[in-house]
Amino acid sequence: MVKKNKVAIIGAGQVGATTAFTLAIKGLVSELVLIDIDKEKAEGEALDINHGMPFLNPAKIYAGTYADTKDAEVVIITAGLPRRPGQSRRDLIHSNNRIITDIVQQLNKYADDPVIIVATNPVDLMALSAQKTSKQPKNKVFGSGTLLDTARFRFALAQNCKIEARSIHADIIGEHGEGELPVWSLANISGIPIAVYCDVCDRICEPEKREELFVEVRDAGMEVIRKKGATYYAIALTLARITEAILRDEHSVLTVSLYLDGYLGINDVSMGLPAVIGSGGIQRVINLPLSLDEQKSFIATAEVLKELAKDMEEFKHQ
């Protein structure tokens, strides 16, 4: 059977449409369907990309329905409501949980065997909601998690160290947002542990520099939102990167929000950890050997997320 490289994107808003455009210009898909409750919006986005088709690798790009997800290899969920001014985080969790649950129930009905990537925020809780609702095994349902934060971290280190970002290997794990954690103990520059590299580097950084860089990374999303109202380019590239790893069966190590099943004694919560990603989704989770302090922070974040998840589940059944 010829591989179709078919992707469905649910939610053709800023993130969904930019992801569609990114997949199209990277030539990664031969078929791409956009699904949104606002059908006209999905149609408009598909049309806009289609008008550039003479300059793209050929692909069938269209607005569709859940029936069109049947043979999709990857489904990306970016549908959701933005946080309204004054709205609590809890309210946002409950409204987006309803949306994710409805969407995944539709996918259960129509999609044969997709890998589902959730981008809707708060992404770790929305990934958990999808993992619990989906008929797919947990390795096929995960969130974009801290991969965007990891990219921002590598960019910030690249700027600071004057080294290109691809030579920097440093992860942010945990929660995408408040509870994210930079893994300094394993960060390296082309295999050289960062502490060793700093000793031989001719740049002199203050001891506070690490914390400063991390805070800049943690708050980077809010900074973009303050300046331009929304973030979508970098998250679209993040989603396209994960999709590429799946479609090409790359076995790439990417930090995604995955269902934890015993790592550091943590269960039943979805959080950012590196995993080997390829055909069929997560092929292997990499249980990082964190320092003791890092373990404590990771466990503390898991506890916060568990409380929020419990509240989310109880509210759903009210």
Interface with ligand APR (CB under 6 A), residue from 5, 6, 8, 13: 13
8 Å CB contact between 174 and 274:
no
Residue 222, interface with ligand APR (CB under 6 A)? no
CA-CA-CA-CA torsion sign (204, 206, 207, 208): negative
In angstroms, the CA 164 to CA 316 distance is 46
Cβ of residue 126: shortest distance to ligand APR, in angstroms? 8
* Binds ligand APR (CB under 6 A): choice among 230, 284, 291, 303: 230
Minimum distance, C-beta of residue 253 to ligand APR, in the bound complex (Å):
22
The catalytically annotated residue of 51, 94, 176, 251 is: 176
In the complex, the smallest distance separating the C-beta of residue 103 from ligand APR, rounded to whole angstroms, is 6
For residue 117 the two structure tokens come to 């990537």
Segment near ligand APR (CB under 6 A); pick from 79-87, 165-173, 181-189, 194-202? 79-87
272 binds ligand APR (CB under 6 A): no
Q: How far is the CB of 59 from ligand APR (least distance, A)?
A: 21
State which residue, 14 or 30, has the beta carbon closest to ligand APR.
Answer: 14
Query: Among residues 74, 51, 59, 3, which one has the least CA distance to residue 26?
Result: 59
Helices and strands (H and E) in the chain: how many: 10, 14
Closest CA to 309 of 256, 257, 238: 257
Instruction: Give least dist CB 19 to ligand APR, A.
Output: 9
If one asks whether residue 10 binds ligand APR (CB under 6 A), the answer comes out as yes
- Choose the stretch contacting ligand APR; rule: CB under 6 A; options: 63-71, 117-125, 212-220, 246-254: 117-125
Contact residue for ligand APR among 30, 56, 70, 82 (CB under 6 A): 82
Sequence-ordered list of residues with C-beta below 8 angstroms from that of 140, at least 6 positions apart, any chain: 113, 114, 115, 116, 134, 280, 281, 282
**How many other CB atoms are found less than 10 A from the CB of residue 315?**
14
DSSP assignment of 122-176: SHHHHHHHHHHH-SS-GGGEEE-TTHHHHHHHHHHHHHHHTS-GGGEE--EEE-S
317 is catalytic: no
Binding site for ligand APR (CB under 6 A): 10-16, 36-38, 41, 78-80, 82, 99, 102-103, 119-121, 230, 232, 235
Catalytic positions are: 176
